[in-house]
Amino acid sequence: MNRTRLARLSLAIIFALNASPVWAATSTANATVSAQVPLRAELTLTRDTNSDTVGSPTQIIFQTPDDKDSGVAQPNANFMYAPIRSKTGKNYHLASIIANGSSMTLTADVTGTAGGKQLSQILSTFCGGFFTTGSSQPVAGTKSNDWEPLDTFQRSLNQPFSGIVPFNYRLDISTVGAGTYSGTVTFTLTSN
């Protein structure tokens, strides 16, 4: 037998001796996983450190005409803002949302009158979009037109969502006389 064959035979025997022993065995066990996740549509109005501090999260309070808000570069006497515009970068409050259907819709309905006008005709909103928890960029829900009538507000998302939607408000007082006015904004979240 030549040396090359002998070396190969020796290596083959060493590998055979170092292989897994015949008494080693493997066994597996399976566990099934099941979960029943209920359909959720949960909506609350809340605030965070970037929110205004006037009133509470469930109130929208207008106190100062825009031209009386010091610190505004181009004041407009036709409007009141919540929060006032000099509070740059602030939101008024947040809609905190949990919706786990394949799609969801957030809408608003406005009732009440102000100086002979329907509140829905003079109340607008700026919606910052859908932010997941901890995110600095919205995943959806922004529009190029900054201010829109609150009464026709609607945003939809075709995925489950858990996070916040920031809102600011504007009241057109150009055709409304002095007085104290009140109304209600009802937000509705639908998840399906």
Q: Express each pLDDT in 69-105 by its tens digit.
A: 988 889 999 999 999 999 988 999 999 999 999 999 9
Angle at the Cα of 78 from the Cα atoms of 182 and 55, rounded to 5 degrees = 40
What single letter denotes the amino acid at residue 97?
A: I
Q: If we measure between CA atoms, which residue out of 154, 165, 169, 163 comes closest to residue 55?
A: 169
Mean of pLDDT values over 106-112: 96
Six token digits for residue 25: 């065995």
What single letter denotes the amino acid at residue 10?
A: S
**Is residue 36 a part of any domain in this protein?**
no
**Is residue 112 a part of any domain in this protein?**
yes
| Number of helical H runs and strand E runs in the chain | 2, 11
Q: Is the pLDDT of residue 18 over 60?
A: no
Q: Of all residues in the chain, what percent carry a pLDDT higher than 90? A: 69
Q: What are the pLDDT digits (tens) for 37-77? A: 999 999 999 999 999 999 999 999 999 999 999 888 899 99
**Is residue 29 a part of any domain in this protein?**
no
Q: If we measure between CA atoms, which residue out of 121, 188, 124, 109 comes closest to residue 156?
A: 188
**Is residue 3 a part of any domain in this protein?**
no
**Is residue 15 a part of any domain in this protein?**
no
**Is residue 113 a part of any domain in this protein?**
yes
Non-local (6+) Cβ contacts of 191 within 8 A are 39, 40, 41, 99, 100, 101, 103, 104
Q: What are the pLDDT digits (tens) for 142-186? A: 877 689 999 999 999 999 999 999 999 999 999 888 888 999 999
**Is residue 133 a part of any domain in this protein?**
yes
Place of tokens 């029943």: 36
Q: Is the pLDDT of residue 10 over 90?
A: no
Largest Cα–Cα separation, the chain: 115
**Is residue 35 a part of any domain in this protein?**
no
Which residues form the domain of 93? Answer: 41-191
Q: How many domains does the chain have?
A: 1
Q: Which pLDDT score is estimated for 22?
A: 64
